[in-house]
Structure 1
Amino acid sequence: MTMRRNLMRATAAAALALTLAPVFAQGVIKIGEVNSYKAQPAFLEPYKKGMELAVDEINAAGGVNGKKIELITRDDNANPGDAVRVAEELVSREKVDVLAGTFLSNTGLAVADFAKQKKFFFLAGEPLTDKMTWQGGNQYTFRLRPGTYMQAAMLVPEAAKMKKKRWAVVYPNYEYGQSAVAAFKQLLKAAQPDVEFVAEQATPLGRVDAGSVVQALSDAKPDAVFNVLFGADLSKFVREGNTRGLFKGIEVVSVLTGEPEYMDPLKDEAPNGWLVTGYPWYGINTPAHKAFEQAYQAKFKDYPRLGSVVGYSMIKSAAAGIAKAKSTDTDKLVVAFKGLQVDTPFGKITYRPEDHQATMGAFVGRTKNEGGKGVMVDYVYLDGADAKYQPSAADVKKSRSAD
């Protein structure tokens, strides 16, 4: 009798397990994330931690629509072809519900085109080229960070106040760098018609010959420099510029340099007085940021970088969109994301219906070498929702005419 009861219990338990197994399998929302982890670790290691923190918080609160979030990441080797290949793998083999991520603008555009061809939802966290949301924007792609036009528009008013006539530019010679320089030139010329661009140095990404670049810029005798280099290229450029005295007596305006990912490695070589976009995490006292900073520090025993905010806010955005859509169906997500509002460490942002660009802003301030460490001072947060930092609705519509 006892043996029979045990057998019956085991059979019932097995039947229950079989009944529950499909329910559990259906209880997961898979986010497939593509990025250049090996190529850009300074930004993407904190970014991955930010994503993990968001997933933990969402799942601890019961998930989205009663389902847990599962993050599946793939490295794209900083190569557009590989980015498309792993995106295809995530969609076809891993059966992810949405695609997200990318860092470099060329890989971001490749995945955006894949999303367009496959009619599959893609949330781009980081790639900054304006083609992500404007000239090359498509129905299925949304972007979190402010693009090159928006960041240039945040820098140009202060750059114009410098009243410097002779400008030189230096940038990595791929989509992001080209887009940033084009936007800066256009906006500065509009604000200061007499400006001249007297030198242009376009360097291979990750392989800057800093000595020859600095020498060429010095030979042009500019009054000011617009710099778009980042990562190891930025460190080499700053080191050579300091050694050769390039920065003495001239103004430097620089995208991204105020981000701790790129400022911290400079240490005692950090420049003074550059006008930059960045992330002064140590001085942001809003309740939203304090809560994020404390949670991040508690989990990782480290301070956040801008990548941390981007990764965290991207996953929170995906979750908010899925919750609003009550589905992971691409068409329903596209509708839900138009006008979607999301709470982030920088405050509430909105994904604009007209171009799928989030209104996340940026901090603009000056660099300061403070005791052998670079920080941002005299900074202000500029809200991406401000119309000053966007092209007109008519221009957006025209640029997205093929959408």
Structure 2
Amino acid sequence: MMMKAFSRKIWQWGVAPLLAVSVSVTAYAQDVIRIGEINSYKTIPAFLEPYKKGIDLAVEQINQAGGLNGKKVEVLIRDDAGNQGNAIREAQQLLTRDRVDVLTGSFLSNIGLALADFAKQKKVFFLAGEPLTDKIVWENGNRYTYRLRDSTYMKVAMLIPEAVKMNKKRWALVYPNYEYGQSAIESFKKLLKAQQPDVEFVAEQAVTLNKIDAGNVVQALADAKPDALFNVLFSTDLTKFVRAGKTRQFFDNLPVVSLLTGEPEYLDPLGEDTPKGWFVTGYPWYAIDTPEHNAFLKAYQDKFNDYPRAGSIVGYAMIMSLAEGIKAAGSTDTEALIKAFKGLKVPTPFGEIEYRDIDNQSTMGAYVGRLDVRDGKGIMTDIRYVDGKDVQPSDAEVKKLRPAE
């Protein structure tokens, strides 16, 4: 009952005028709950600047609603510069010098895995917000680590029905060559082949993150003469790839399914170059009409005079998840939080999500739809929300993948 009342109070604040608040880095205080957040702000600014705004909004709403267990909330933010070693050093300092109560954050999958292992070794609670790798809750999963965002497996599963409808035999693949991209490709091959056994993967291009040689990549894919394309690129790599492909007319009459491309932080830079017809996952903030999202959208626009991106949703829902967990646990004790997060239900701008007992994965989903151009801007059309609980493997499969604890 207390959790529900707290949730209602938070949403009421979401539609009320908001006072200014900052993400604090003040000295340790007994009457404050301190959350240590680590991320690749300099490496992925398009996503993480809006993400930081989402954090800021959540902290403001929580503190205006009375805080957590009588304490105010502060978030101490650290930049890992896209490096695993830096991330671990920052995590260590947050625990020993800054004396934070919990850890959260991370974007890149390889860094998320490193922080998950650190949490296991130090026996500290860690909520991974963005890293999409399946390993963080399956093969490398541990009792101290929970994950908010839908995984690569889940996102790929959202696209598979459309890929099967295309009924194309020869597929080309392009992806960033690190854990996220590798994991997405593995899931796509497995899930598509299960429904279309005769499918062939005729070309693969794995590119170094943020260092794509777009012309050569497009040419190599075109030389294979594929019938369809699965794209996992994002950020500046995506923009360069799309423009090189359009210049070479590679995408003409080529069906494409694509992860993340409908997210505003990656779609907006394309503008009129947005490839029409691609089937994508994304965040069409301008087309979602639900009470939960409308409340979030109004609060976000009132505070920042800007529209939210996918990162905004993740940052906001991550802090709200920690708030609900701490409220339910009655403290920031690690064991109490682990217990509280088992089956924890959290209101978010996408509706209520639940942290699964079986693998510590939330049921947050995503929107799918087709790309189009309107008034010189890329948009998603024909959208629908796919609930994360509907794109999971069976419990039996998860039990085989996740180590016993």
Place the TM-score, normalised by the shorter chain, in its bin.
over 0.9
Supply the distance in 2 between the matched residues of 1:76 and 1:85 (Cα, whole angstroms).
9
Q: What SS does structure 1 have at the residue aligned with 2:271?
A: helix
Aligned partner (choices 275, 295, 301) of residue 271 of structure 1: 275
Kindly name which structure, 1 or 2, has the bigger radius of gyration based on alpha carbons: 1
Offset at residue 210 of structure 1 (A) = 0.4
How high is the sequence identity, in percent, across the aligned residues?
Answer: 67
Amino acid at match of 1:224: A
Residue 228 of structure 1 aligns with an amino acid whose one-letter code is: V
Residues 4-403 of structure 1: matches in 2 within 5 Å? 25-386=29-390, 389-403=391-405
Query: TM-score, normalising length from structure 2?
Result: 0.93
Any idea what SS the aligned residue of 1:77 has? coil
Aligned partner of 2:189: which letter? Answer: K
SS at match of 1:377: strand
* TM-aligned CA deviation for residue 116 of structure 1: 0.6
> In the TM superposition, what is the alpha-carbon distance from 1:27 to its structure 2 partner?
1.2
Measured in 2, the distance between the counterparts of 1:34 and 1:401 equals 26
Q: What is the CA distance between 1:372 and its match in structure 2?
A: 1.5
Aligned residue identity for 1:393:
D
Deviation by residue 1:50-95 (Cα, 9 ceiling, x = unmatched): 0000000000000011111001000001011111110111011100
What is the one-letter code of the residue matched to 1:328? T
| CA offsets 1:320-348 (integer angstroms, 9 cap, x no match) | 00000001011110010010000000000
User: Which consecutive residues of structure 1, in runs of 5 or more, have no partner in the other structure?
Assistant: 1-23
Structure 1 SS opposite 2:100? coil
Q: What's the TM-score, normalizing by structure 1?
A: 0.93
- The CA distance in 1 between the partners of 2:122 and 2:399, in whole Å, is 23
**C-alpha distance in 1, partners of 2:205/2:112?**
24
Runs of 4+ aligned residues of structure 1 deviating over 2 Å after TM superposition are: none
Cα drift, residue 191 of structure 1: 1.1
Cα deviation 1:19-57 (Å, max 9, x = unaligned): xxxxx9321000000000011000000000000000000
Residues 140 and 403, structure 2, Cα contact 8 Å, conserved in 1: no
The aligned amino acid for 2:314 is V
Residue 270 of structure 1 contacts residue 372 of structure 1 at CA under 8 Å; is this kept in 2? no
How much has 1:399 moved relative to structure 2? 1.1
CA distance in 1, matches of 2:398, 2:385: 24
Superposed displacement of residue 402, structure 1: 4.5
Q: CA deviation at 1:316?
A: 0.2
Q: Quote the offset at 1:371 in angstroms.
A: 2.5
Alignment partners' CA distance in 1, 2:363 and 2:193 = 25
Shift of 1:106: 0.6
Determine helix, strand or coil for the equivalent of 1:169.
Answer: strand
Q: Residue in 2 aligned with 1:16?
A: none
Gaps of 5+ in 2: 1-27
- Cross-structure match for 1:21: none
Give the Cα separation in 2 of the matches to 1:264 and 1:294. 21
Q: SS of the residue aligned with 2:110?
A: helix
